Amino acid sequence: MHYNVAVIGTGPAGLSAAITLKIRNKEILLLGNAGLSDKISKAHLIRNYPGLPDVSGEELAKNLKNHIDSLGIQITEELVSTVYAMGEMFSIQTKSNHIYEAKSVILATGISFEKPYPGEEEFLGRGVSYCATCDALLYRDKTVAIIGTSPKEEAEAEFMAEIAKKVYYIPLYPEEVSFDKDIVVRKEKPVSISGSIKVDKLIFENDELSVDGVFILRDSVFPQSLVPGLTVDGNHISVNRNMETNLKGCFACGDCTGTPYQYIKAAGEGNVAALSAVSYLNATK
């Protein structure tokens, strides 16, 4: 389907943007966690949200969910792997290999305090991938390493084992891992990715693996990797006061744009991003 605006993220920024867009009668695609942001629901007390003094995170999440439900806004529960600017449209690819199109995009992805591995950004698209389902066929009969940040990524390793010649799985979590398929589990800490034209090694603190590809499966993708060509400042997306990025039709709001990391700031920026997206759509009719 084609949408007016795709909103990526279901924290206060993304939900605020979706609400404003819905009121402005725009066709929206809201992508994110149907349970909303863990950062909200796990908060003890929020003291500076106007009109809701001393509201708990759980209560605020419930109120936000009730609000979008009352407007008929549905959450499409998918993880986005890449957003491509395609002239007048944006192509949004998810980790389940679905592709959506929208005239405008609002990034409300939150903030990741992780840092890319040395070599990760350099070899993105040349042996580094964030989506096993999307890129598995490129590694038929080859050797790959999969770095998983949670047990749910084990399913991706099992899928890859049906296609690749050899699969190494590196879990970055304490739970025990076992597979029915022939997958080698390495409980070591990766430190970098190296190669020449393409990836050829995943390097650990005391060892290395010769591989044709490295899949890094995180819950979130770094902004500059999520949207090729996007201007960033460290871990933050660069925006102006209208929440415009350097890419026409692409806006950003909330924690991903910088401090302060406050719910009310995120909600306000979501509103501004939505209004800017509406103006952009009106100007490009």
Residue 119 falls within a domain, yes or no? no
Residues 108, 230, single domain; the answer is: yes
Residues 186, 261, single domain; the answer is: no
Least confident segment among 33-47, 186-200, 211-225, 232-246? 33-47
Residues 33, 109, single domain; the answer is: yes
- Specify which of 10-24, 117-131, 205-219 reaches the highest per-range mean pLDDT: 10-24
Question: Strand order of the sheet with strand 166-171?
Answer: 128-129, 213-217, 143-148, 166-171, 183-185
List, for residues 137-152, the tens digit of each pLDDT value: 889 999 999 999 888 8
Residues 83, 199, single domain; the answer is: no
Token pair recorded at residue 50:
């106007």
Final residue of a structural domain among 189, 217, 245: 217
Global pTM value: 0.79
Residue 39 falls within a domain, yes or no? yes
List, for residues 78-94, the tens digit of each pLDDT value: 889 899 999 899 999 98
Residues 232, 211, single domain; the answer is: no
- Total domain count, the chain: 2
Higher per-residue confidence, 30 vs 57 = 30
Residues 107, 228, single domain; the answer is: yes
Final residue of a structural domain among 170, 199, 217: 217
Residues 150, 14, single domain; the answer is: no
**For position 113, what pLDDT does the model report?**
67
**For position 35, what pLDDT does the model report?**
81
Final residue of a structural domain among 217, 241, 262: 217
Residues 234, 199, single domain; the answer is: no
CATH number at residue 160: 3.50.50.60
Residues 236, 198, single domain; the answer is: no
Query: 39: domain range?
Result: 2-113+220-283
